[in-house]
Amino acid sequence: MDNSQLESTINEIRKRSGTVTVFNKDKISNAIFKALTATSKADRGLADQLTDSVVNKLVEQGFTSSRAPTVEDIQDIVESTLIDSGNSDIAKAYIVYRHERRKLRDEKMKILNLKSLDPVSKKFDLNCLRVLASRYLFRNGKNEIIESPTQMFERVAILVVIGDILYDSQIFDKAGNTNQDIDEAKSYLEKLDAFDYKFRVGDYYLNKWHFRSLINHYVTLANKGQMKINFKELLTLLATKKLDSYADRITENLELMTSQDFLPNSPTMMNAGGRLGQLSACFVLSMEDDMEQIMKSTSDAALIFKSGGGVGINYSDLREEGDIVASTSGVASGPVSFMNIINTVTEVVKQGGKRRGANMGIIEAWHPDVEKFITNKTEPGVLENFNVSVGIWEDFWHALVNTKDGNYVLRSPRDNKPVKEISAHQLIDLIALSAWKSGEPGLIFFDQINKYNVFAKARQAPIRATNPCGEQSLYPYESCNLGSINLVNLVKKQADETYEFDWQRYEEIIRKTTKFLDNIIDVNNYPVKEITIASKESRRIGLGVMGVADLLYKLRIPYNSKEGYDLQAKLSEALTYYSMEESVALAKSRGGFPLCSKTEYPEGKIPVSGYYEKPKESHSYEWDALIEKIKKYGIRNVLVSTVAPTGTLSMIADCSNGMEPAFALVFEKRVTVGRFFYTNKIVEEVLKENGLYSDELLAKIADNYGSLKGLDEIPQWMQDVFVTAMDIHWADHLMAQAVWQDWIGNAIAKTINMPYDATVEDVKSAYLLAHELGLKGITVYRDGSRHKQVLHMTSENAQKIFEVTPTEYVTSFVAANITNPYIKAQVNAALAIKVHDEEIKAESLIHEEISEDRLCPTCKNNLVFVEGCSMCIECGYSGCTSG
C-alpha cells in the first residue's frame, strides 16, 4: 500500500478536548523535525521518512477512516517508531518536546482559566497570553476570567464592522435628505438585555453592547438625515440575513489581529463589546483660569481615567503662584498645585479598573512658574502619574539661538504683561540638567507641531497640548484612536533564504486598518459629551507601526545606517500616503470629516512636512495627485498617522516596540534555581545558525548591557546589524525619529537614549539638534538617571565594554545642513568623540538599590524606560495608555 493510500485510510484525529479534526501528517513531520533539530540533525527528509513509518504503524494498529486515533495514540507511536528505527536520541528529544508541550498547555490553560485551548491560545506564546489575561480578558464578579483570547478578538472585530454595516448602500445615503424616527431607535437603549446575542452577522453574534453601538451609530447618522430606512427595518435586514456578507469583514478584522499583523490601542481591546465601550487611548482637556472650569476638567479627567484613557493638559493658562485673585483678594496657588489635584484623582481612579491613569502636564516656556515646574519632578514621589514637558514656541527659540544675551520675557497668563526677564540660555540649561538627572521634563516644540497644522484655520487657534506620551497633539476634548501594524510580519522569504519586505501587503494592511480605525470613531462610547462632539468633528486617527527593529534584524540592515534610515523613511512615507489615500476613498463614500471645508485642505495644504521639506525627486509616492483628490473629494480624517508607544501591544504581537531599537538582545531574570535569560528570538536563531549559542555567551551579552558590541566571540557583521538602544548614539536616535517624523502627520513616541556618562551639554545639544531635524518633541533618558534607580536593567553585573559614537551619516548631515552658528558650535562640540578612561567607561549604577516606586506596581519586577514611558517587560504594565 503506498503512502497516499495509507493516509487516505485515516481521515480524522480526535483531539484532547474530544473534538474531531482533519488528520494532517505534516503536523507529525513537523514535531519529529523539531526533535531532530534539538539533536542537531535538522533533516527534513528523515522527518518525512519517519512520519511515513508512523502512518504505517497507525494503520497496522487498526486505525481507519471510521476509527480515528487520538493525539496521544499518535504521539505514543511516534515514540516507538523512533526507538525501533534506532533513533533513541531523537526519541528522547521527542519525549522531552512532548513533555514541554504538555507543560506549556497546562500553564496556558491555568493562566486563561480554560479547560481546553482555543485557536489563539495555541498560537500565541505564554508571555502574550499572560498580558492578555492580566489586562484584556473580561472577568466576572469573582475576578475570574470568563472569555478566551479568541472571544476577545471576536468582540473587537464584530464591533468594528458595526461601523461598516450602517454605510451599506441599502441603509446609508450620504446626501442626508431622509427623516427617521430617532426616538424609536433610542427606545431600544432601554431594553438592551432583551437583545443580548439575539442578532448575528453570519456566525458572529452581537452582544447587548454591540447592539448599543449599533443603536448609537444609527442615531448619529439619522440625525444627519443619512439613514434611508427606519431602525426596525435595519433590524429586519439583520434578522433576514441580508447583511450576512459583512461576516467576511469580521473574519478579515479578526485575522488581522490574531495573525499579530495589527493591533488597536489597549482601550479598544479592553472595552470593545463591553459595558464601558470606550475605545480611545488619548485625550486632551483644557485648564482655564476659572475655578468652575478647573473643577469640570478635573471631573472629566476622572471619567476618562475610569474609561481607560489618559489625559494631556496644558496648565499655562493658570495664573502664576502668588498672583492676586481679584474675586477673593486671595493669592493664586499656581499651576503645579492644580497638577497635584489631577495626580490624586489619577491615583484614586484606576483606568477601566485595569491600571492607573497617565497624564501629560505641560507648561509653556513663557509662564512665570516655568522654573518651579522644571525642577518639580527631580525628587522621587512627586507627580508620579505625570509625564511633564515644557512647551516651546518661536519666540523662545529665537531668543535662544539668535540672540547673544538670550533675554526672554516671562508673561502673566492673566493679562499677558511682563512679570520678569530671564536668560533663555539659563532656562534651557535648567531643563537639560533636570532631564539629565531624572529623564524629565521633555520638550514639546509647538512651533513645529503647528507649522503644517491644517486644522488651525478651522479651530481658529494653534494646538497647545498632547496626550500623555507626547506623540498625539490634540485640541481640547479631542480624542484619538491608535493602532499599530507589526512590520516584522510583513517579510517574505526568498529562494536564497534571505528576507524581503512585502510592500504590496503593507499597502493592503494600511488600507484595511485605516478603515478599521475610522470605524472605531463611530462605534466608540465616549466618556464625556464634549469629547463625542470634538472627536467626530475631526475624526482624527493614529495609524502607526511596531516591530521596526525586528524587521531590520530580519533584513540584516543596521538600524543606524544610511540603508536603515532610507528604509524607515520609505516605510513612514508609505504609511501616511496610503492611509490618506484610503481616507479620501472613505470620504467619497461616507463623507469627509465635518470641519474639512473650514481647514486648509481645500487650499491644497497637507499636514506632512516631508512633502514640503524633502526634494520632490526623493518622494516615493505621487503626493500632488493625492492633494488634487483631497481638493475634489475631501478627506475622512484630519490626520491619519502617529507612531505611538506599543509596550503591551508589542508583547501581544511578539515584536519590538514601535520604531524603537531593541531595548536589549538578552536580559536576565533571576529565579530561585539560578540565572535565566530572555533572548530576542531573531538573534537567538542567528546565534544557533552560526554555532554560537550557549548559556555562557548569553550571560556575557546580558552583562554587556544586553549588547553584542565589543564581544570577541561575535562576528563584526552581527555586531553591526543587531544593535540595541545603548549601541546607538543619541544623535542617531534623533535621526531615526526624524526620518519617521518627516512623513508622520502627528508625532513619534521615542526615547533618546544616552549612556550613564553623557553630560548635561549632550542633553542640551540633543534639544538643539532635535529642533533642527524638525521633531515635534523630545524625551531624553540617560541610563540609570531616574531618581538614581536603574530602569535599563539587563544584568546585575552589567559593565559596558564598548564606546558609542555618532555615525558618519549623522555627522555629515550636521556638517551639511546646520547653518545657525550657535547650534552648529554646540552640536559639533557634543558630537566630537570623547576619550574616556577605563574607570569612567565601566562606571555604572547597576548596583544601586531599587526603590519600590521604580518597580512595576502590578508584579514588582523592574521597569524599563522606552518610548518615553515606563514599562514592565514581565507583565506588560505601561505608564502610557496607547499600548
- Bridge partners, 483 (sequence order): 264, 543
121-153 per-position pLDDT tens digit = 999 999 899 999 998 999 999 999 999 999 999
pLDDT digits (tens, 9 = 90+) for 784-833: 776 443 334 456 666 777 889 999 999 999 999 999 999 999 999 999 85
CA distance 150 to 763: 46
| CB burial readout 193-211, b (16+ within 10 A) else e | eebeeebbbeebebbbbbb
Q: Residue 865: which pLDDT band, with cuts at 50, 70 and 90?
A: confident
The grid coordinates listed for 711 are: 564581544
Q: If residue 14 lies in a helix (H) or strand (E), which one and from where to where?
A: strand 12-14
Q: What is the mean pLDDT of residues 403-408?
A: 93
Question: Identity (one letter) of the amino acid at 561?
Answer: S
The β-bridge relationship of strands 869-872 and 863-866 is: antiparallel
Per-residue pLDDT reduced to its tens digit, 159-169: 999 999 999 99
Q: What is the DSSP letter of 835?
A: P
Question: Across-strand partners of 13?
Answer: 21
pLDDT on residue 327: 59
- In tens, the pLDDT along 631-676 reads 999 999 999 999 999 989 999 999 999 999 998 999 876 656 667 7
Average pLDDT along the chain: 90
- pLDDT value for 355: 58
Whether residue 843 is predicted with pLDDT greater than 60 in this model: the reply is no
**Residue 356: predicted pLDDT:** 60
The answer on pLDDT for 504 being more than 90 is yes
At residue 632's C-alpha, the angle toward residues 629 and 635, to 5°, is 65
Nearest to 305 by CA among 144, 528, 538: 528
- Nearest CA to 852 among 864, 861, 843? 861
Active site residue 867: no
Extract the C-alpha cell encoding 210: 454591540
Q: What pLDDT score does 854 carry?
A: 59
**Above pLDDT 70, what percent of the chain?**
90
- List 282, 469, 655, 880, catalytic entry: 469
Residue 851 has pLDDT above 60, yes or no: no
* Mean pLDDT, residues 618-636: 98
Q: What is the pLDDT of residue 673?
A: 60
Q: Which of 79, 320, 440, 471 is catalytic?
A: 471
Please determine, for residue 218, whether its predicted confidence score (pLDDT) is greater than 90.
yes
CA 328 – CA 321 distance, rounded (Å): 15
- Ordered by start, the domain boundaries in the chain are 12-114, 127-259, 282-457, 664-723
User: What tens digit of pLDDT does each residue of 24-72 get?
Assistant: 888 888 888 888 877 777 788 888 888 888 888 888 888 887 888 888 8
pLDDT given for residue 60 in this prediction: 86
Asked if pLDDT for residue 846 goes beyond 70, the answer is no
Q: What pLDDT is recorded for position 308?
A: 81
- pLDDT above 70 for 490: yes
What pLDDT sits at residue 837?
37
| CA separation, residue 119 to residues 487, 603, 652 (Å) | 23, 50, 15
Question: Which pLDDT score is estimated for 794?
Answer: 56
Q: Quick one: average pLDDT of 250-272?
A: 97
Mean pLDDT of 234-256: 98
- Confidence check: pLDDT of 223 > 90: yes
pLDDT band at 345 (very low <50, low <70, confident <90, very high): confident
pLDDT in tens, 508-543: 999 999 999 999 999 999 999 999 999 999 999 999
Arch. (CATH architecture) of 282-457: Alpha-Beta Barrel (3.20)
Catalytic annotation, pick one of 467, 486, 489, 680: 467
pTM, to two decimals: 0.91
- Note the pLDDT tens digit of each residue in 665-712: 998 766 566 677 889 999 999 999 999 999 899 999 999 989 999 999
What mean pLDDT do residues 707-736 have?
96
Q: Which pLDDT score is estimated for 113? A: 94
Residue 405: partners with Cβ closer than 8 Å, 6 or more residues away: 423
- pLDDT, position 845: 35
Tell me the pLDDT band of 839, cut-offs 50, 70 and 90.
Answer: very low
What are the angstrom distances between the C-alpha of 32 and each of 82, 92, 402, 690?
A: 9, 11, 70, 23
Alpha carbons 305 and 466: distance in angstroms, whole number: 16
Instruction: Kindly tell me if the per-residue pLDDT of 354 is higher than 70.
Output: no
DSSP state of 734: H
Q: Is 839 a catalytic residue?
A: no
What are the CA-CA distances from residue 296 to residues 360, 377, 423, 493 (Å)?
Answer: 18, 26, 36, 55
Quote the pLDDT of residue 848.
37
Mean pLDDT lowest for which of 3-7, 135-139, 177-181, 728-732?
3-7
- The answer to whether 469 is a known catalytic residue is yes
Lowest mean pLDDT among 78-82, 459-463, 762-766: 78-82
Overall average pLDDT of the 73-95 stretch: 86
Cross-strand partners of 675:
670
